[in-house]
Amino acid sequence: MLIGCVIVYMAATVAVGIYASSRVKDSKDFMVAGRSLPLYMNFACVFATWFGAETVLSVSAKFAHKGLGFVSGDPFGASTCLVLVAFFFARTFYRLELLTIGDYYHLRYGKFVEVITSLGIASSYLGWTSAQLSALGLVTNVLFPQLTLNQSILIGAVIVTIYTLFGGMWSVALTDVIQTAAIVLGLIVVAILLGNLAGGFDVVVAAAHKEGKLSLFPHIKAAAWMAFIGEFITMSLGSIPQQDVFQRVTSAKNERTAFIGTLGGGLFYFGFAFVPMFIAYSAVVIDPAYAAHFQSEDAREVQKILPTLILQKTPIWCQVLFFGAVLSAILSTASGTLLAPASVLTENVLQPFTRHFSDKTMLWLLRIILTLVAVVATTISVNSESTMYEMVESGYKVTLVVAFVPLVCGIYWARASTQGAVFSILLSVPVWIGTEYLLAEKALLDEITSRPLWQCVPPQLYGLAASIIGMLLGSFMPQWIKHAQPDAAELAKKRGVTMGH
């Protein structure tokens, strides 16, 4: 019965994606759903895209092993990002009426900055997308043990690519509404069942508290504190200049919907992310042997613990709900993370070569680029041994270093210049990469207590500091690199976006 339900669910998801293609008339529909999503769909898109495999399987396992102090990036940093976007970026994004966040860099700083930041933003998605495909393969492998893990990843990648390929943002929006309902209902019921098996909600929370899992700041070593701060900053700030965030804001039917949908989705995400953590720790209370399983050195095996537990300890109806919720979380995030880099690469990197293309040709090009992104992400997923949490965080380092400072200064500092943005990028990237190389064997090694503080700081924070210095230097110095800023409405019209809002 479980296998049959999973197959029917996956087939239904593909069918919705194919149905969504009937709403796609041009590239604007494909990328931002015609800027017409009502509040409930906008909210669902924000929540479902961010509530992915790493939240259900990887973050929950890390919490069960080490506690809240080791998951500062997700959910704390991730939800902080969405709240910051709602209050400080959503209105600006929406009013510009642009297709991609790369268009903003073009508008504010010119083509060079647009291309470099767009390449950074697009590359950052490879880790996030790979994490979702790894999770989809992992769950498929648990359900179909006769398949190898890599075969399972390939099957999952094909399914996600097909339904995103047809309907673009409309596929994402329509399926996210269904998937949000499946995630919420499925995980709440599973949490109640496992909580009762563990002796009740109070028993699970008391056990977690006794073991120190609920302490947000348990660290005394500099390396651990720097890791905590680095993960939080990387996720909360590095996630802001992202195309999926921009798409969810600009696909709303009006500015108020964009603000409320982003804020509501972020706050709900923060609260609901604790549900899979509760489920994972309930497993430890039910059977203390699971505590040792969560400490395994094999990351992929650790992430299988929760699905395997559900198969072994719960009735069939609970298994259907859990796997429906997990598959929903993975599919909703994977589709969004495929569409976002394809949109940026097509619109902002390839645009000089496609400016004379018809919109129909652009739509086909978008689909081709999306397929190529899927192929690259699948290749990374098959060959990676990192946890989903690590894959996601690694992607946001790129945007934190390359794109965050030019975005914030462009919006909130009138003196920010094209030269400042160029200096910011040219200084930050070598500092970040050089520090990564320099500290490769030293960074975040808890057993070394005598290291100087500078060796404990995550490399991406050095890159962020260099980015700020570059922006300040370049903007205050005589302006040798200049950019005549185009009119926002004219750029929107040229890119075919203006909708009259």
Rg over CA atoms, the chain = 22
Split at pLDDT 50, 70, 90, the class of 498 is: very low
- pTM comes to 0.84
SS (H, E, C) 39-84: HHHHHHHHHHHHCCHHHHHHHHHHHHHHCHHHCHHHHHHHHHHHHH
pLDDT above 90 for 428: yes
DSSP letter string, 170-183: HHHHHHHHHHHHHH
Among 72-76, 131-135, 371-375, 496-500, the least confident range:
496-500
pLDDT above 70 for 29: no
Split at pLDDT 50, 70, 90, the class of 26 is: low
Residue 353's pLDDT is what? Answer: 72
CB-neighbour burial class of residue 208 (10 A; exposed 0-12, middle 13-18, buried 19+): buried
Residues 6+ apart with CB under 8 A from 368: none
Q: Tell me the HSE value of 306 on the side-chain side, using a 13 A CA sphere.
A: 35
- Please give the Cα distance from 292 to 290 (Å, whole number): 5
- Kindly state the percentage of the chain with pLDDT values over 90: 27
Residue 328's pLDDT is what? Answer: 75
Among 217-231, 324-338, 383-397, the least confident range:
383-397
- Please give the Cα distance from 178 to 247 (Å, whole number): 19
Residue 31's pLDDT is what? Answer: 60
Residue 51's pLDDT is what? Answer: 82
Among 353-357, 380-384, 457-461, the least confident range:
353-357
Residue 494's pLDDT is what? Answer: 57
Split at pLDDT 50, 70, 90, the class of 83 is: very high
Split at pLDDT 50, 70, 90, the class of 24 is: low
Cβ atoms 78, 235 nearer than 8 A: yes
Mean pLDDT of 221-244: 87
Residue 109's pLDDT is what? Answer: 93
Highest mean pLDDT among 283-297, 344-358, 428-442: 428-442
Amino acid at 153: I
Residue 77's pLDDT is what? Answer: 92
Split at pLDDT 50, 70, 90, the class of 500 is: very low
DSSP state of 453: G
pLDDT above 60 for 32: no
Highest mean pLDDT among 207-211, 337-341, 360-364: 207-211
Tokens in use for 14?
């593909």
Q: Which of 12, 15, 54 is nearest to 329 (CA)?
A: 54
146-192 tens-digit pLDDT: 888 888 888 888 888 887 776 666 666 666 777 778 888 888 988 99
276-329 tens-digit pLDDT: 999 989 988 888 877 776 776 666 667 777 788 788 878 888 888 888 878 777
Residue 66's pLDDT is what? Answer: 84
SS3 474: helix
Q: Tell me the HSE value of 137 on the side-chain side, using a 13 A CA sphere.
A: 28
Residue 297's pLDDT is what? Answer: 62
Residue 426's pLDDT is what? Answer: 95
pLDDT above 70 for 379: yes
Residue 484's pLDDT is what? Answer: 66
Split at pLDDT 50, 70, 90, the class of 447 is: very low
